[in-house]
Amino acid sequence: MKLFIFFLLLIYPFQYSLSQKTDRESLTKNPLNQFQLDVTQPKLDLQNMEILKQIEPMATTQTIYNDQIFEGPVDPDKYVVGPNDIFSLGVWGIVNQPLPLAVSPEGSLIIPSVGEIDVNGLTLSQTKEKVISAVKRRYISANVSLTLISPRRFLITVTGVGQGNYPISATMRASTIIAFIMADSVSLIKSGTSPSERGLFSLRNISVKRKNGEIKKVDLLKYYATLDERYNPFLREGDVINIPKYDWDQRYISVFGAVQFPRFLEYIEGDDLETVIKMCGGITTMANPDSIMIARLDPSGKKMTTFYFSLGRDGKMRLEPNDRVMVTAKISLQRDYKVYVLGEVMRPGLYPISQHNTRLTEVLREAGGLTPFAYLPTSEVYRHIDTFFVQHKYRDTLEFIYTQRLNDIVTNKDEKELLEQDIKYRLGRVNIDFEKLGTDPSQDIILQHMDVIYIANNKKQVYVYGQVNNPGFVPYKEGADYNYYISQSGGLSERADENEIRVIKFKTREWLDPDEAVIQSNDFIYVPKVVKRDFAFDIDLFSKVASVIVSIVTLTLLIIQSQR
């Protein structure tokens, strides 16, 4: 008897292949029948045993991904079997060759010599138990196995944002199709949603309606925070996913402070403190979990009440719509405070400091002290300026506006231009005299985070330019006045204005009268040009002066005549 059964199973593939060939030959004359055959029937060739390529039914559409991607092994107690699932049936000991089986559109498996078995809607575990039991009744002594080879693919419907029909696999969750719609501009446009509105639809109030009328709620933020599969179910045939838009000003929860990702969350009934903090990536290392503040407004929006809770003790406390949650942070003085030391020091670079405690001389010692080329008169300390003003395109204009408020100094155009120039040259310089650093304790300032200490180089030169015969650098001479440096530059040129010569200090860029200035290394001497004006300028000036005089005389005569 066993030998007869073995013979039947052995010749079955050959008979099936032969019948397929005969049917194809007869149907080639009718193109419509040929199309129906290719779509509805799998092509079987057991001799080569490339099961995944041979027995997968030909789909009328392609899925979102060319290859199915799995989270891990399929859970037999959760996977629900349906039409187009591909199985491999093994009857070991009778036929040592697996038999490929496809679930029919009616939801049944047809097994030679066993019959038709209804598996639609059963879990994978239930299907295995039912099929193996039926086969073992036919082949009592055989070892029987049933393995899922290729999960089915099918269409689901999306309404709301990204509406349309989308191909998907039975191993994919609702998040898969939602992620696809978010990334695909064409899918968004289908529902009148522009790609710029990607963030305006709900990720927490999505619904999946089953064929039997059951409705599953999808909350992707809660799923990724808790990994609870209830909030991100696997999809089935006939599912209708509704992705609504959301009014962010209607029902929300705001979470900020010492959390990984402060954010504005859509409120869903049942949200608790622990879950919303998880949806923000959890607390930071500096968070104080025993001091979480919740600010709650009354219905009028005028009165606010604040409460303090502990995450460990009150984590399951339900929140209300429009609550604002602030996770407070612990105070730490052990922060990464540092300063830059540049210029003529033995070891220039970045040095750590403590807040409001490290002095200038301490950092200079850490930097190895000064080099022989250091020049203290022009050395400086620069303080970090507010990055808003440093980086902003209109920093100078804004600073001028802020400074001008409530002032009683800027009253005319010249004063306004002078103030604007002063603002542009504001470099955050700290007022310190390095030459007195060793003798005057007040010069040994306490440094702040991101201060820049610059020890200048003594170049031993003075730069002379303007109306001199040979402008350029002149070697510095201790005690020499401006006349010495001008003579070393070839003397004054023919157009030089001797009355307007100025000494410009290197450190402050201040312009000084040369008779009152002490010239130091690195300073500048500027000799301006005599401005010659043509006859037209003189005539214009004379006419303006005459006009003013005539006006004054006329006004005087009118006053005298009115008093008579």
**Same-domain check for residues 178 and 197:** yes
**Same-domain check for residues 13 and 120:** yes
> Residue 85 belongs to a domain with what CATH number?
3.30.1950.10
At residue 14, the pLDDT reads 38
Res. 549 pLDDT band, cuts 50 70 90: confident
**Same-domain check for residues 284 and 259:** yes
Contacts of 204 by beta carbon, 8 Å cutoff, 6+ apart: 219, 220, 221, 222, 265, 266, 268
**Looking at this protein, which amino acid is placed at residue 391?**
Q
Output the 3-class SS for 288-331. Answer: EEEEEEEEEECCCCCCEEEEEECHHHHCCCECCCCCEEEEEECC
DSSP state of 468: B
The residue segments making up the domain with residue 515 are 461-527
**Same-domain check for residues 60 and 140:** yes
> Residue 466 belongs to a domain with what CATH number?
3.10.560.10
208 to each of 213, 278, 377, how far by Cα in Å? 10, 24, 76
Domain final residue pick, 274, 299, 329 = 329
Identify the residue whose tokens are 């830059």: 340
Looking at the chain, the whole-number percentage of residues with pLDDT higher than 70 is 79
At residue 10, the pLDDT reads 39
Decide: 320 and 345 in contact? Cβ < 8 Å: no
Cα end-to-end distance, the chain, whole Å: 153
**Same-domain check for residues 521 and 537:** no
At residue 462, the pLDDT reads 95
Say if 290 falls within a structural domain: yes
**Same-domain check for residues 507 and 537:** no
Torsion over CA of 463, 467, 469 and 473, rounded to 10 degrees? 0
- Calculate the average pLDDT of the chain: 81
Among 30-39, 175-184, 266-275, where is mean pLDDT lowest? 30-39
- The answer on pLDDT for 25 being more than 80 is no
Tokens of 383: 């303080």
Instruction: Return the higher-pLDDT residue of 271 and 96.
Output: 271
Angstrom distance (rounded) from CA 225 to CA 140? 50
- The answer on pLDDT for 126 being more than 60 is yes
Contacts of 487 by beta carbon, 8 Å cutoff, 6+ apart: none
Torsion over CA of 399, 404, 406 and 410, rounded to 10 degrees? 160
At residue 562, the pLDDT reads 77
Decide: 241 and 202 in contact? Cβ < 8 Å: no
Of the candidates 286, 182, 306, the one whose C-alpha atom is nearest the C-alpha of residue 241 is 182
Domain final residue pick, 150, 181, 213 = 150
- The answer on pLDDT for 4 being more than 50 is no
Domain final residue pick, 282, 300, 329 = 329
Angstrom distance (rounded) from CA 52 to CA 70? 16
At residue 422, the pLDDT reads 65
Res. 200 pLDDT band, cuts 50 70 90: confident
- The answer on pLDDT for 255 being more than 80 is yes
Res. 94 pLDDT band, cuts 50 70 90: confident
**Same-domain check for residues 469 and 545:** no
Overall domain count for the chain: 5
Say if 364 falls within a structural domain: no
**Same-domain check for residues 79 and 207:** no
**Same-domain check for residues 6 and 142:** yes
Say if 225 falls within a structural domain: yes
Res. 531 pLDDT band, cuts 50 70 90: confident
**Same-domain check for residues 26 and 115:** yes
At residue 410, the pLDDT reads 62
Res. 426 pLDDT band, cuts 50 70 90: low
Decide: 342 and 453 in contact? Cβ < 8 Å: yes
> Residue 211 belongs to a domain with what CATH number?
3.10.560
Res. 113 pLDDT band, cuts 50 70 90: confident
- pTM, 2 dp: 0.57
pLDDT in tens, 517-527: 999 999 999 99
**Looking at this protein, which amino acid is placed at residue 345?**
V
Segments in 318-379 forming alpha helices (H): 360-366
- The answer on pLDDT for 534 being more than 90 is no
pLDDT in tens, 202-226: 889 999 999 999 999 999 999 999 9
Residues 90-128, buried b or exposed e (16+ Cβ, 10 A)? bbeebbeebbbbbbbeebebebeebeebebbebbbeebb
Contacts of 395 by beta carbon, 8 Å cutoff, 6+ apart: 388, 389
At residue 407, the pLDDT reads 59
**Same-domain check for residues 139 and 277:** no
**Same-domain check for residues 521 and 500:** yes
At residue 468, the pLDDT reads 95
- The answer on pLDDT for 369 being more than 60 is yes
Concatenating the DSSP letter of every residue in 114-125 gives TEEEE-TT-BHH
